[in-house]
Chains A and B, each alone.
Chain A
Amino acid sequence: MEFESDLNLKATELRLGLPGRDESEEQSSSCVKKNKRSSSEMDSSSEHQESGPSAPKAQVVGWPPVRSYRKNVLQQQKKPESDGSGMFVKVSMDGAPYLRKIDLKCYKNYFDLLKALENMFKCTIGVYSEREGYNGSEYAPTYEDKDGDWMLVGDVPWDMFITSCKRLRIMKGSEAKGLGCL
């Protein structure tokens, strides 16, 4: 069993905890290891300690006993483009008390985005069709474009979408029926 420290991808990581909770962007890698174990002898993939504003948990070498070599399964997005500025938009979901924010630049296409939203909000969005929109799905993703109009996610080419999308709203499927292309 293997999980790697996710130090490098912290900035773009989608966390699946309570919405609104923030951890520090910077990861301080002070090693709090029991009995002052020397790090020079250890494999460089050893765990580092993270001290965010939330109660810091002392991280102990080799604990919990999980293997470190697999990709962190919570981070399945591809790495963002290296231009660095990010394209953060707010995401709301009907019924959730808090909004989230995501960086549209992290995703290459609608598929990646929808999957990330499904993971983030633990919902099923289903498959887009030009005729029916997301009919039949529990939820439908919509967005507000530059003109202030609410659009159904998926109608326009991806590149056009990310430049015109100002915010996202995941609507209950029943409410979204009127937004399909007519």
Chain B
Amino acid sequence: MDPDQSEDSPSNSANSHGPTQPQSPFPDEVLEKVLSFIDSRKDRSSVSLVRKDWYNAERWTRSKLFIGNCYSVSPEIVARRFPRIKSVTLKGKPRFSDFNMLPRDWGANVHSWLVMFAKVYPFLEELRLKRMTVTDESLELLAKSFPRFKALTLSSCDGFSDNGLKAIASHCRNLTELDIQDSVTDDVGGGWLSCFPENFASLEVLNFSSLNCEVSFDDLERLVGRCKSLRVLKVNDSITLDQLRRLLVHAPQLMELGTGSFMQELTPRQYEDIESAFSNCRNLQVLSGLWEATSLYLPVLYGACASLTFLNLSDVALQSSEFAKLLVHCPNLRRLWVIDTVEDKGLEALGSSCPLLEELRVFPSDPYDRHHRDGVTELGFLAVSRGCRKLRYVLYFCRRMTNAAVVTIVQNCPDFTHFRLCIMTPGQPDYLTNEPMDEAFAAVVKTCTKLKRLSVSGLLTDLTFEYIGKYAKNLETLSVAFAGSSDWGMQCVLEGCPKLRKLEIRDCPFGNAALLSGREKYEMMRSLWMSSCNVTMKGCRLLAREMPRLNVEVIKDEGNDDGQADRVYVYRSVAGPRRDAPPFVLTL
């Protein structure tokens, strides 16, 4: 039974008709008290399966709800099972929606959930949404329905504007967290920030770095000055360096800082002042933003870097030399996000300066190859693997790679849990040997026994997938693009990876046989995405017919052959077919 399921499982409901269960040794109150200490979702799921009274005790004591796919269950079912929820995490669209692969208005609108929560969970305190559509109407409902509401996270969401945020700022008296991560809307003015009441001082987390708006700096400064418990502040690039200095003077206790624009002509005096403001931030663990920072002003940061564990440079295109100089001051770095303008040379410096590194993400400055930049190659990755033996998470965009390099890299760093390699030209072989990259990923799955997430790229035959099926026994998420030779590849994965939960495939020669071979497996998974493969409507209909507990949704492209199933999204659900599907989503 998958630990992610938060809904009534079919096996549980059978209990009510079975033989009477023996008397429990514990009174309900004791059981509930004990269970109230259990936080882990997996443990709670296991607990709920033991016997009926445990199931009941568990549902009465669960306060945190996690729903990984908002369509896998309905608000009504959730409300019936869990009466006392204080915190909800809801995820909506499939991940490929981040890359424009899903039409607008596809769904994942939070409103119907909020309507239910307002009725059933008036004491809701936290709401964390990812890839959901959130309208102003929803935010207004949220702001007015939950007097104890404290924490709102909107991660990669859309659909809201200034008005919705104004409602939150005005009405949520006990707000401690407002975190708008990577959520972009067209229509956000900055007036919302000024709506926090004058006596409002409870904020601990404020992140509006991805919003394209200008806030009133005076109001922001006053807000930051009042909120003595503020530990996370991430502003957007409308805030200048000098303004940032003033904020830092109010909040030297910050643990996470996202700066504004780092480009401003400063007088020497201003330079000194901001340098000292940074030096006073002795608790800084996370740093991001730094838009347009250059070698001229990066040094003002140095005094704040000693305790940095996460440095996010994905908004600023640094060169290798200034990057290397900055790293010297960051010996405790565990996580780094950077743009490939630092090149291999920069990554060599990383290998030397940051031995504690556990996570590295290198993003492309030139993803569509318009400028013919070098970016990073296998050499940079190798250099990091030599110096940073604790590496366990990597996301690496590059234009060339070799099998030999990857083999060495995983030998250096066998503890990878997340290995996401993106060779940007589809179907590109090992650039030295011209062979497929099969051996590279074979080495990854054989050596990294803890691997949970894998993204493959380059020229790959079915062999890669045979290896994955054979060795990747802890794999939970697999992303595949422009790879494989036949249905056999996908079948190997579906048969071989017992813990697989999410499978996303695009532009691969996998067809109906592969799709259907996983029919039972999909009930154990969160979802399957297949786009631009060889799957047909017929195959999808067959799957839908055989597996009534799966939703099989097809998004067709206009003008394409009627038989082809262009984009297929399959997921288990106890809520039945979507009731809010737009016309271009066909549920079979």
Contacts and interface: CB of A to CB of B under 8 A. Distances in A.
Contact of A60 (B296, B339, B426, B559): B426
Given A2-B182, A35-B564, A65-B96, 10 more contacts: A1-B314, A15-B371, A16-B371, A38-B558, A57-B368, A61-B100, A63-B481, A67-B98, A73-B315, A115-B294
Given A37-B557, A38-B557, A50 B368 contact: yes
Nearest to A54: B372
Interface string B471-485: 000000001010000
Interface string B245-272: 0000000000000000001010000000
Contact of A41 (B263, B295, B506, B584): B584
A41 B97 CA distance: 13
Contacts of B425: 57
A148 interface: no
Contacts of A3: 364-365, 367
Interface string B424-454: 1110000000000000000000000000000
B210 interface: yes
Given A70-B315, A122-B319, A62 B506 contact: yes
A111 interface: yes
Interface of B: 96, 98-101, 103-104, 182, 184, 210, 263, 265, 291-292, 294-296, 314-317, 319, 321, 339, 341, 363-373, 397, 422, 424-426, 479, 481, 506-507, 532, 557-560, 564, 566, 584
A127 interface: yes
The 6 closest A-B pairs by CB, nearest first: A62-B99, A41-B103, A38-B558, A17-B372, A69-B184, A73-B317
Overall SS of chain B's interface: loop
B370 A50 contact: yes
A8 interface: no
Given A18-B372, A109-B265, A68 B100 contact: yes
A16 B559 CA distance: 40
A88 to B, nearest CB: 19
B366 A74 contact: yes
Contact of A40 (B422, B532, B558): B558
16 contacts: A1-B363, A2-B184, A6-B370, A17-B371, A35-B560, A35-B566, A40-B558, A43-B100, A47-B368, A59-B368, A60-B426, A67-B98, A74-B371, A76-B292, A122-B319, A124-B295
A159 B507 CA distance: 54
Interface centre among B370, B422, B507 (most CB of A within 10 A): B370
Given A111-B265, A119-B319, A122-B319, A66 B103 contact: no
A60 B96 CA distance: 14
A36 B560 contact: yes
A34 interface: yes
Overall SS of chain A's interface: loop
A81 to B, nearest CB: 19
B295 A62 contact: no
Contacts of B98: 65, 67
A60 to B, nearest CB: 7
Interface of A: 1-3, 5-6, 15-18, 21, 23, 34-38, 40-43, 45-47, 50, 54, 57, 59-71, 73-74, 76, 109, 111, 115, 118-119, 122, 124, 127
A104 to B, nearest CB: 17
Contact of B370 (A23, A40, A115, A122): A23
Contact of B210 (A42, A59, A69, A119): A69
Contacts of A57: 368-369, 425
B210 A127 contact: no
A70 B99 CA distance: 13
Contacts of B558: 38, 40-41
Interface centre among A17, A65, A119 (most CB of B within 10 A): A65
